[in-house]
Amino acid sequence: MTQYDVIIIGTGAGGGTLAYHLAPSGKRILLLERGDYVRREKDNWSSRAVNVEAKYHTKEVWHDKDGKPLHPHTNYYVGGNTKFYGAALFRLRKEDFGEIRHHGGVSPAWPISYGELEPYYTKAEYLYQVHGERGVDPTDPWASAPYRFPAVQHEPRIQQLHDDLSANGLRPFHVPLGIMLDESDPQKSRCIRCETCDGFPCLIHAKSDAQVICVDPALAHPNVTLVTNARVTRLLTSPSGREITGVAVQRNGAEEIFSSDIVVSSCGAINSAALLLRSANDRHPQGLANRSGVVGRHYMGHVNSVLLAISKSLNATVFQKTLGVNDFYFGDEEFKYPMGHISFVGKLDAVALSAGAPAIVPGMTLDIMAKHSLDFWLTSEDLPDPDNRVTLDRDGTIVLAYKPNNDEGHKRLIAKLEHLLQHLDMRPHLIPRNLFVGNRIPLAGVAHQNGTVRFGRDPNTSALDANCKTHDVENLYVVDGSFFPSSGAVNPALTIMANAIRVGDHILERLGASARVAEGAAV
Ligand SMILES: Cc1cc2nc3c(=O)[nH]c(=O)nc-3n(C[C@H](O)[C@H](O)[C@H](O)COP(=O)(O)OP(=O)(O)OC[C@H]3O[C@@H](n4cnc5c(N)ncnc54)[C@H](O)[C@@H]3O)c2cc1C
Ligand code: SF4
């Protein structure tokens, strides 16, 4: 049996990025991924296949706290959920790393500062080819380098909205995006700027996802091996419980055991917690590395809504996700608590609307609604509640218990946007006022899952130390969305990627590998 230096379980934003960073070191690295490659096929870009049939979602069924079946909107593939993400790659705000008082409670501080993560944000942005513009978003934290590529330009309807918002005193900005678009040379541009990006895999591999950017290049190194369709079921420890000695995998109907000096769980926040809980043994009766009892707890997923603003003006936008508004992120004169972030989802069509089943505007078909709607995405921070948690039921099925919290700020954010749009120059309107159709993202919408294996300095209140190594097991790390002690209100993926590079540096040092070799060839 090959003894590896590092086994990484999961190939998404956390695991894929980590593998890429470690690959040039020459260390023997094994990637275990429960899914396969996303098959390249026309359905990649079919609204029906993606939005109505949920073709690419896992068919795994979880339960909610009442035992009702939950069909999670999550994807098990090489590249993880980044295959499907909207590639809006934000840094958390500098203040998000400190304690922040919200209307619904306190968002706790992180054990590291923004300054400590900043160099890794810069590396992650470079690696994932983020297109953006610094200094326009009023809440943007400082950065040590400009973006590698210019911001993706707005199409006319969104530019008009930008101008209207600016005229009303707001500071809209270009959303930082990881798509390989070269607007100066459309013929040569890998990305063709299409309408099936957010939520869809990119058929032509022009989205900066973890497979294209990290896993495939990592596999060009002879020391890196990927095993797909390999679901890790348990982690085995030595009799003392201090080290992982084996990684148990279900593949082709049989169990295989792999082993390595260092093991990294990068299964995503819900599955990493579930894996630790499933790996309970005599030394770890509450679940592996769970002396603190926090594993699985403090699940967060943001308070998210999609809000359709429907006016008479046609919205012929193809790629809509270019504009963001953070003026209310930390609150305003009327409401002193954080409200959150406003941006867009990909342009919705009638097929997508039929799947989301929004309230239908009387006298309008879904097709007309879709042609006239601006499809906003609103995100607010939910707070870490120990009772919002991942557990397992008797047969090992994931149970997700979640009670929404801190939603006053979110309601205010929706009201702010509605108020603004009513007063913007968006005439002539189809109806006297803009019409708003809102949909809160349900529990199954676990896209922004985080927080279940939090890092911290105190082993009594966290499962991971500041390097994302478990306090209780010497050779076990968790590198995915699990480590967040609080979630801010911007999309999480860039923070997961940046942290993976940061932890990667620590692992390289621990392995005595030359960080310089790794860095020269990687990021
Ligand atoms: C539709 C959609 C749109 C999104 N848009 C954005 C966006 O615009 N910006 C943004 O920042 N974020 C976005 N996100 C969220 C983003 O994709 C996630 O935050 C990110 O991918 C999480 O990274 P991760 O490493 O924690 O987990 P994942 O990327 O989910 O990777 C986990 C990996 O582990 C594998 N795995 C799980 N369990 C096991 C096991 N037991 N054994 C082996 N392998 C296992 C999975 O198959 C998967 O490959 C979006 C998500 C979705 C679904
Ligand atoms: S071509 Fe561009 S816009 Fe279309 S899915 Fe790919 S990355 Fe997204």
Place of tokens 């308070």: 303
Q: Which residues partner with 304 through β-bridges?
A: 379
Distance CA 495, CA 146 (A): 17
pLDDT lower than 50: segments of the chain:
426-434, 518-523
Q: Which residues partner with 29 through β-bridges?
A: 6, 224
Q: What is the DSSP string of 162-178?
A: HHHHHHTT---EEPPB-
Distance CA 30, CA 15 (A): 11
Q: Whose CA is nearest to atom 8 of ligand 2?
A: 197
pLDDT at 349: 87
From residue 21, give the alpha-carbon distance in Å to each of 82, 387, 403, 469, 499.
17, 35, 37, 17, 11
> Of how many residues is the chain composed?
523
pLDDT at 514: 65
Q: Of 3.40.50.150, 3.30.70.3040, 3.30.300.30, 3.50.50.60, which CATH number belongs to 3-522?
A: 3.50.50.60
Spell out which residues line ligand 1, taking CB within 6 angstroms: 9-15, 32-35, 76-77, 80-82, 84-89, 198-199, 231-232, 266-269, 271, 275, 447-448, 480-481, 491-494, 496
Backbone angles phi, psi at 105, to 5 degrees: 145, -155
Say what the pTM is.
Answer: 0.96
pLDDT at 357: 53
Break the chain into its structural domains and give their ranges: 3-522
pLDDT at 165: 93
Burial of residue 107, with CB atoms counted within 10 A of its CB: 0-12 exposed, 13-18 middle, 19 or more buried: buried
Which atom of ligand 1 approaches the CA of 210 most closely? 29
Ligand 2 geometric centre to CA of 68 (Å): 36
